[in-house]
Chain A
């Protein structure tokens, strides 16, 4: 590991083109909708128009009578033929199947699936399916949902609460009693999600001769093949998931279990290849793709000098009608519950509650960005309360760089960081004095302008410690990832990864790491995605983990190859390995450059000349490496302390927002982000994901919301109403890099797949509130739309 940061590498950290870009820019990516299987049939879905109802009857005869229609599947058949999908927490009565059976629990829930020769014909037939419903009581508000007497989304579960626990880490009450000041605030994170431009899709084909289900899917899901096989009552080795499908964006959301169980069942049942490509409206309404929807109640205890002593957070999360992994999104933030601050004790009460809405899935950061927004709102509230500068307050409470490793009250140790330096870099990149001058000039001219600051963590290296924390029956303590490296007879290098990618540039990552270790040009290295029957264990690119985990596994495999080459050379040069040196693939005797075996010679010995191989070595030249998450492997303590993730990236955002004082429209005038994710393996990729994360955060802060009507209908189910920021809403973005290597990883790298998103909403909310402050107005709910902002301005003006 390089202690000096970004320097000292051959390929890592250098400006290099990615391996993936050429196929994407020429339209030669291979996405799931590009896969055409001979004789493939198409699915259209019939969905519930009710937020809650009993299904009295389903009549399919008119649909089946249309030419080109192959089959209509309903919940009764599917529930009998498959296992229920797994909930993420211990809630066995919250059962779920891909199609509703007897009861629907949200508007948009799938009720029947039509299979036809084309998607258009399937839609024609879907219109002809007649369903009798008896509407029942529903609940849409999470606070009403936990109140006594609320209609139960799953009556068998006995409550709408999926998970609730009050964690107390450290002397919270004592710290509150001792503090000179206390304050409480409530902030709300609106229901938005990642909304990739490609919807979810899956194609499946059953081979009765091999008894094998082939699956191509737009997927980003740990243990996906296992879950499919289990639900379809197939042995794990009867499902082959092809991970060489390019995924058109995911950012957490593309889990697709229910889609795949449905299509896999149909493909097997009908003996025909079947595909389901969600259309956009399905994707928005029924495809399990809404994100956290949280009410945070915070209390902070602090002293007059700005020292924050203790923190209480109650987080009420509306996860919609089913469990999935959504409650666990309240679990991951346990590992960074104090953010970058030295806070002595914490009380945290996560409450996961069901309502009659679309179910929640993973969103970039897995619950961390909402938590960061709440925490940063609390920090700003303290600054306002004390009349203290927001930057000075942050710096006063930041964990200092000499305090790492730093153990936070909830049991996680932060690896490394220099928060003061990164915030300073962000302020410099934004030209903070000029920003203040611009804000003040705008205010003098009668306009509204505000500066936002946020300083947030990105836990990275994706572990699953929240699983045993939130579900004692789940003792998962490894979240390994793997890489296989092969050197073929020609000397060419192939890296094999074991999951699909959704834009993170993993092929470039693996090639760069293999090139770095083996000192071979990454451009000559091929990287392929194994299918699930060929694959080594992987837990997919979730939790900002692949630079660490796949990068670490690739390095581990490459080092094994290197060790083998050295052993072959030692044997043939009759020297100890210690007497040899490796250089760009050839091995020489130190000080005797004539005594060299070239890469080609070494490879040929391994592949052809067993008689020249050292005893005990396997012929051929390949190596696998399976890596457990560094710092992982532990179970939580009784009071719920756990090492959550291994590495902690840091980002500081500085933003200037202007608000039209008459219309309430916000405009981002300047945006800078200081970012430290340790050693960047591919700077262009890190920057790209960070820019994208910021844009996504701008959406969550200002534009995007899955809004429901009072009768439980999703009102923002098209791109006309769910507003993703365009190039005209996202301003020019500046990133200032900093590098504090992680001691836990191969090259000092940390994760960056969620970067930008983890601090942008907090910073923008802070800026909007700074802009509104002269009016005496404030806003504590995302997204801060023009309507919301104007409403707050009106209320404040009326109050004046």
Chain B
């Protein structure tokens, strides 16, 4: 391996404190995926456009591909895995995505769910345009967004805010 300097990071991920030694250039998405093996967060473009890598940083959606793990030291993260029920089955928002068939290949889905979760936390009854703006930074190639918008409306109608 190389002689690159390592930095200690301590990050609360889905309620569990995770500590690791990482090179400064390790992005947050690579940290989640390769170091912690939380592979639900996906890298789609690695330059901050597609939104597939979205995670919640202290409750706010951010793109984990344009953030280094060292920048998240001491912060709290929620990933797509953290929005499921403790037994791994879908949480309320995730269930709405299933009901509306808001996913096809599943690659953008984690980022979409994260963006939708943040929207519904801030705005439990969003209008369609607000939904589209909230997921406007998340590209999907399968769905044409229609069933994703439907799923978020459904989740809002059910009064659910994702997770538990």
What residues of B have a CB within 8 angstroms of the CB of A592 in the complex?
A: none
Chain B interface size range: 35 or more
| A22 interface residue (CB < 8 Å to B) | yes
| A496 interface residue (CB < 8 Å to B) | no
Contact with A along B38-65 (1 / 0, CB 8 A): 1111111111011010000000000000
**Nearest Cβ in chain B — how far from A125, in angstroms?**
10
- Which of B47, B90, B143, B144 has the most A CB atoms < 10 Å from its CB? B144
What residues of A have a CB within 8 angstroms of the CB of B113 in the complex?
A: 25
**What is the bound-complex CA distance between A197 and B108, given in angstroms?**
7
Task: Decide: A695 near B46, CB < 8 A? Known: A23-B106, A25-B94.
Answer: no
| A781 interface residue (CB < 8 Å to B) | no
**A691→B146 contact, CB < 8 A:** yes
Taking CB as reference atom, which chain A residue is nearest B27? Answer: A120
Task: Decide: A719 near B106, CB < 8 A? Known: A27-B41, A67-B1, A732-B128.
Answer: no
What residues of B have a CB within 8 angstroms of the CB of A26 in the complex?
A: 40, 80-81, 83-84, 88-91, 94
| A117 interface residue (CB < 8 Å to B) | yes
What residues of A have a CB within 8 angstroms of the CB of B109 in the complex?
A: 24-25, 29
Number of interface residues of A (CB under 8 A): 64
| A389 interface residue (CB < 8 Å to B) | no
**B52→A197 contact, CB < 8 A:** yes
Q: Which of B23, B47, B84, B94 contacts A280 (CB 8 A)?
A: B47
What residues of B have a CB within 8 angstroms of the CB of A720 in the complex?
A: 47, 49
What residues of A have a CB within 8 angstroms of the CB of B106 in the complex?
A: 20-21, 23-25, 29, 31, 246, 248, 503
Contact with A along B70-92 (1 / 0, CB 8 A): 00000000011101100011110
Taking CB as reference atom, which chain B residue is nearest A694? Answer: B144
**B88→A28 contact, CB < 8 A:** yes
**Nearest Cβ in chain B — how far from A196, in angstroms?**
6
**Nearest Cβ in chain A — how far from B111, in angstroms?**
9
What residues of A have a CB within 8 angstroms of the CB of B41 in the complex?
A: 27
| A137 interface residue (CB < 8 Å to B) | no
**What is the bound-complex CA distance between A252 and B143, given in angstroms?**
16
Task: Decide: A503 near B104, CB < 8 A? Known: A17-B99, A67-B2, A719-B49.
Answer: yes
| B13 interface residue (CB < 8 Å to A) | no
**Nearest Cβ in chain A — how far from B3, in angstroms?**
6
What residues of A have a CB within 8 angstroms of the CB of B128 in the complex?
A: 732
**Nearest Cβ in chain A — how far from B92, in angstroms?**
11
**A727→B110 contact, CB < 8 A:** no
What residues of A have a CB within 8 angstroms of the CB of B133 in the complex?
A: 728
Q: Which of A17, A27, A505 contacts B81 (CB 8 A)?
A: A27
Task: Decide: A33 near B144, CB < 8 A? Known: A196-B105, A685-B101, A689-B104.
Answer: no
**A66→B2 contact, CB < 8 A:** yes
| B28 interface residue (CB < 8 Å to A) | no
**A198→B44 contact, CB < 8 A:** yes
| A47 interface residue (CB < 8 Å to B) | no
Within A527-581, the residues touching B (CB, 8 Å) are none
Taking CB as reference atom, which chain B residue is nearest A69? Answer: B2
**B101→A692 contact, CB < 8 A:** no
**What is the bound-complex CA distance between A195 and B142, given in angstroms?**
11
Q: Which of A21, A246, A756 contacts B144 (CB 8 A)?
A: A756
Task: Decide: A279 near B37, CB < 8 A? Known: A505-B104, A688-B147.
Answer: no
| B5 interface residue (CB < 8 Å to A) | no
**What is the bound-complex CA distance between A268 and B148, given in angstroms?**
43
**A280→B44 contact, CB < 8 A:** yes
| B31 interface residue (CB < 8 Å to A) | no
Task: Decide: A27 near B144, CB < 8 A? Known: A280-B45, A503-B105.
Answer: no
**Nearest Cβ in chain A — how far from B161, in angstroms?**
15
**B3→A695 contact, CB < 8 A:** no
What residues of A have a CB within 8 angstroms of the CB of B44 in the complex?
A: 197-199, 280
**B136→A728 contact, CB < 8 A:** yes
Taking CB as reference atom, which chain A residue is nearest B23? Answer: A120
Within A86-117, the residues touching B (CB, 8 Å) are 117
What residues of B have a CB within 8 angstroms of the CB of A309 in the complex?
A: none
**B107→A692 contact, CB < 8 A:** no
Q: What are 25 A-B contacts with C-beta separation under 8 Å?
A: A24-B106, A24-B109, A25-B109, A26-B81, A26-B91, A27-B38, A27-B39, A27-B84, A31-B42, A31-B106, A194-B141, A197-B45, A197-B50, A197-B140, A199-B44, A248-B106, A503-B142, A688-B142, A691-B143, A692-B144, A696-B141, A718-B45, A719-B139, A720-B49, A724-B50
Instruction: List the interface of chain A (C-beta within 8 A of B).
Output: 17-18, 20-29, 31, 33-34, 36, 66-68, 117, 120-121, 124, 194-199, 246-251, 279-280, 502-505, 684-685, 687-696, 718-720, 724, 726-728, 730, 732-733, 756
Beyond A27-B41, A197-B42, A696-B141, 10 extra complex contacts between A and B, CB < 8 Å: A18-B98, A26-B80, A33-B42, A197-B50, A246-B105, A502-B105, A688-B143, A726-B136, A726-B138, A730-B144
**Minimum-distance CB pairs A-B, first 3:** A27-B40, A24-B106, A503-B105
